[in-house]
A and B are shown apart, each in its own frame.
Chain A
């Protein structure tokens, strides 16, 4: 009876003990093991996922995006999970995946397949939505639009690792800082972003704005490609440099060897040949050791000195220093260079920037080669005067010519215009940086005059424009391989400045081993003309239109009868200048009335005169002189009305 009477109390006691046990266990779990259990639960329900930082955007000088990162997908397939294999096979074939991989992905004996390559998510959207397909997002860099830009900007490998070019030089700024995301896992292991737990956001890389003008780059690339094909060259380079700021506007390189992926205008030095002569002339003028009109005996174009025979292509009994540059006389410049000591000659070239990297933002830039005088041989002084025994990169040479163009200051070439952080804050802006003064303003002006005569009636007439003046110097240099000059292999080059009187840009064209013509004046100079004509006609070629509008222009000559008809262009280009004043460029259309040529004058009669007297007479009358081989009559004939500045052809043997 007592037992029955105590039963409820007993049950209550058991329940109370049970409750105490539960509470005790709960207390242990919560108070003592709580942290461990919470961590275990978190592992089951939450996952941390790294967030790759988007690599910074690279733009051209006008802000046009050249390279950016985009999200692609890698396709990973578990064939045994796929329910409708024939449909998956069709979708994969439609996406352009090879039949071999399609059959592997639909073969249920395979456990796991990774399709090689990356795919645009929109192209494979239906595939990634299929059961059994596990897409993996991958950040991928869009390749630059042209070969030249690819060489400048460089490449990134899988995972966004910079390999070369600007990508490598500025990798620490471009790559950004990776973040992490907190993902929730459901009961099936699927992951999705947590609505309550925020991870650390990835910080995108800085955006980089290059000094390159995409329009001018485009023009240079096409001109170089056409020239390499037309001249049968192994390759070539074009550098276009803003002579007033040092900004690199275009860098185009072509090589037959596909392994040469760098911007060779910065990495491959060469012997410049005659394009180096102006720096010797400038040094002589600067030190008062020679005058521009000082005559030098050139021995009829052949001269032996120190057991070495020098020859000129343009043979003459004597030349002034200006004519030495105009006709690229080796004999003249070698003799003039003897007025400089080896130390002075070395310093002149070193001060012009040769033998040291320019310091532009590009990895593996070559310093070139300029040996100190102590290692010179007896022939070195003469060789250097003609542009041999020295190796320069196209960029070094263009920068040195920019010093002549801007009044004597050697500027550091710049490839980076601006750098902005991801939030748009300006981190860096290029400012004109003077390395040193190479020559006085007066000497630079004299040199520009000499270089203008090279284009007007010297070795570079092929670069002459119809109305604007161009200045420049040609170079034709033998190519050395394995310590010996290769017979028949030459580098043809031309360095020009435009417009001649107030240069805005320096343009260097170099063709490697051209087979159709080896001469810089024939092979490289016309490329300069092509580039300049296209740049003048383009609306986005980074030229200062206001400066061009006020630049002195000579009147175009009437085209000879056998010239092709005027270009059938029917277009009007409207452009805005960098300032607030817009300009309109109208291209003359066929059918319009012909322009009246102003400044027409009668061609003087030079029959019976010596060649020198005839040239002087025609120059005084305002004409340019072309000397034709053999006998004949002058053209246009004496008394013909022709525009000032037009060409008159006179026979070499009247």
Chain B
């Protein structure tokens, strides 16, 4: 009886410690992933900013003019065509 109680106590304690250790390990893994996620989010923000700067008129427009000899068209050569609504097209 005493032995059984002792064994039960040991098993229960081991189970509690194992469960807690597992929880701590997973918490560390979650923390590592959260850190990684915020790092990647920060990198995404920087890359978004770089893309915005790269496609701005200031940079892209100037490059198109200097390298490709393109110019902003005057309004007389921009033709705005109005399409029929999509549901009217069959």
Contacts and interface: CB of A to CB of B under 8 A. Distances in A.
Q: Which of B30, B76, B84 has the most CB of A within 10 A?
A: B76
Interface residues of B, number: 43
Interface stretch (B1-9, B10-18, B52-60): B52-60
A566 B77 contact: yes
Interface residues of A, number: 58
A624 to B, nearest CB: 15
Contact of B79 (A194, A225, A466, A586): A586
Contacts of A218: 56-58
B82 A122 contact: no
Contact of A70 (B45, B75, B78, B80): B45
A549 B82 contact: yes
Interface in A535-575: 536-537, 545-546, 548-549, 556, 566-571
B63 to A, nearest CB: 12
A65 interface: yes
A71 B41 contact: yes
A581 B45 contact: no
A379 interface: no
A536 B76 CA distance: 10
Chain B interface mostly helix, strand, loop or mixed? helix
A300 interface: no
Contact of B73 (A64, A537, A556): A537
A114 B43 CA distance: 23
Given A196-B23, A218-B56, A219-B57, A65 B48 contact: yes
A613 interface: no
A195 B17 CA distance: 14
Contacts of B42: 70-72, 120-122
A584 B24 contact: no
A587 B49 contact: no
Interface in B29-51: 30-31, 35, 38-43, 45-46, 48-49
Nearest to B44: A70
B74 A466 contact: yes
B19 to A, nearest CB: 10
B82 A581 contact: yes
B61 to A, nearest CB: 6
A587 B43 contact: no
Q: Which of B42, B43, B48, B62 has the most CB of A within 10 A?
A: B42
A534 B69 contact: no
Contacts of B81: 549, 583-586
B30 A193 contact: yes
Given A71-B39, A121-B38, A192-B27, A221 B77 contact: no
A338 interface: no
A64 B48 CA distance: 10
B38 to A, nearest CB: 4
Contacts of A71: 38-39, 41-42
Nearest to B58: A222
B23 A70 contact: no
A229 interface: no
A146 B52 CA distance: 9
B90 interface: no
11 contacts: A70-B46, A120-B42, A121-B39, A122-B42, A142-B45, A145-B53, A192-B24, A195-B26, A465-B76, A536-B78, A585-B81
Interface of A: 64-65, 68, 70-72, 120-122, 125, 137, 142-143, 145-146, 184, 186, 192-196, 214, 218-219, 221-222, 225, 465-468, 530, 532-534, 536-537, 545-546, 548-549, 556, 566-571, 580-588
